[in-house]
Amino acid sequence: MAGVTYKNVWKKFGDVVALEDLTLNIEDKEFLVLVGPSGCGKTTALRCLAGLEEVTSGEVLIGDTVVNDVAPKDRDIAMVFQSYALYPHMTVYDNMAFGLKLRKVKKDEIKRRVEEAAQILGIEHLLKRKPRELSGGQRQRVAVGRAIVREPKVFLFDEPLSNLDAKLRVQTRAEISKLHQRLQTTFIYVTHDQTEAMTMATRIAVMNKGLLQQLDTPQNLYDRPANLFVAGFIGSPAMNFFPAHLRKDGNSLYVDSGDFAVKIPEERNNVYMPFAGKEIIFGIRPEDIHNPDFAPPGIHAAPVESKVDVTELMGYEILLYLVSGKNNYVARVDPRTRFKVGDQVQIVFNMDNFHIFDPSGDPENPVAIR
């Protein structure tokens, strides 16, 4: 078992910077998820660890060993790809055993490892089948089994669920989480799906344009995003953002968007008072916007007049797409709500849960004010 460390890792493809000074420490037995949009560098980081790409500068360590110049086969890692990459002419057993045969592992040991991995994954009855006789989910389990039999120090997963349908993805991500608990090995998992990241990870590394944006637990990323990018990426539907300024009125502070103004609870004034009179970005999640008839008791509720543009009935909730002046935003409201398209309604913002970002430093990715 081993942790993984990236020390000031840069990776360039010609003039294109794929990783920019990545420094990241992944603990032994941790389930770390690298998440971000396409082209953010997450797969490149994984491939640099696997030895499939050479780093331009910096160091990659597995345990205490720098592996920059170690051949991929000697790094004691196992990788599960988005494509199952199974040999079509081989049985499931032979696909899982193939890597061990190349390493001259004894037949009895191969049999033990394959049967044990098959039992863990619930595919014992499939060992004599060929890949064409398997469903997508079964093929994915075979690919995972092929990694398990290696008994590596680190498991690498590169978007392994992308080819599965929605129901099977939910089922398989639960299986991978249970597998991590059972094997007690370091898992590093790449995905663009923030739902996968939130439900599976011990910690999440959010990346964008080759830069690590924030490394934290799923709950902390949701509650305390470091900047506008993380705030907008984590959460579904995404956080609503409103250009506004902080207006001081006596001892009170208001977020004033020009179309609506909401009061900041007084106990948080000391945090935001230094920004009074300045332009800010106001953020609030759809789940913190309520129909006033069903708002949680005891919250600091700030009313906002809006027009209903679109409704999406989900059964257990309703998503309202609302317009307030020039601002469009989304609310996740109680399913008993009876608002209709075109209605002028009063919505309330839960001002116990909001975020303010300062665009003065980096207008493209303002940092959160804490």
Kind of pairing, strands 301-313 and 318-324?
Answer: antiparallel
The three-point CA angle 160-128-76 to 5° equals 45
* Bridge-based pairing state of the strands 327-333 and 252-256: unpaired
pLDDT of res. 168:
79
Distance CA 330, CA 322 (A): 6
Q: How many CA atoms lie within 13 A of 350 on its CB side?
A: 18
Q: CA 370, CA 358: separation in Å to the nearest integer?
A: 10
Query: Pseudo-torsion of CA 71, 75, 78, 81, nearest 10°?
Result: -40
In 3D space, the residue among 138, 135, 192, 200 whose CA is nearest the CA of residue 162 turns out to be 192
Decide if 229 contacts 209 (C-beta within 8 A). Answer: no
Q: Output the CATH code of domain 240-368.
A: 2.40.50.140
Sign of the CA dihedral running 305, 306, 311, 314: negative
| Residue 224 · residue 356 · CB < 8 Å | no
Q: Does domain 4-233 have CATH number 3.40.50.300?
A: yes
Residues 6 or more apart whose CB falls under 8 angstroms from that of 103 comprise: none
Instruction: Give the residue from 42, 66, 245, 249 showing the smallest Cα distance to 156.
Output: 42
Domain parsing of the chain, residue ranges: 4-233, 240-368
- Lookup: tokens for 276: 């009074």
Tell me what percent of the chain is helix, strand and coil, each rounded to the nearest 5: 30, 35, 35
Q: What is the pLDDT along the chain (370 residues), one digit of tens a residue?
A: 689 999 999 999 999 999 999 999 999 999 999 999 999 999 999 999 999 999 999 999 999 999 999 999 899 999 988 777 889 999 999 999 998 998 889 999 999 999 988 988 889 999 999 999 998 888 888 988 898 898 899 999 998 888 778 887 888 888 889 889 988 999 999 999 988 999 999 999 999 999 999 999 999 999 999 999 999 999 999 999 999 999 999 999 999 999 999 999 999 999 999 999 999 999 999 999 999 999 999 999 999 999 999 999 999 999 999 999 999 999 999 999 999 999 999 999 999 999 999 999 888 899 999 9
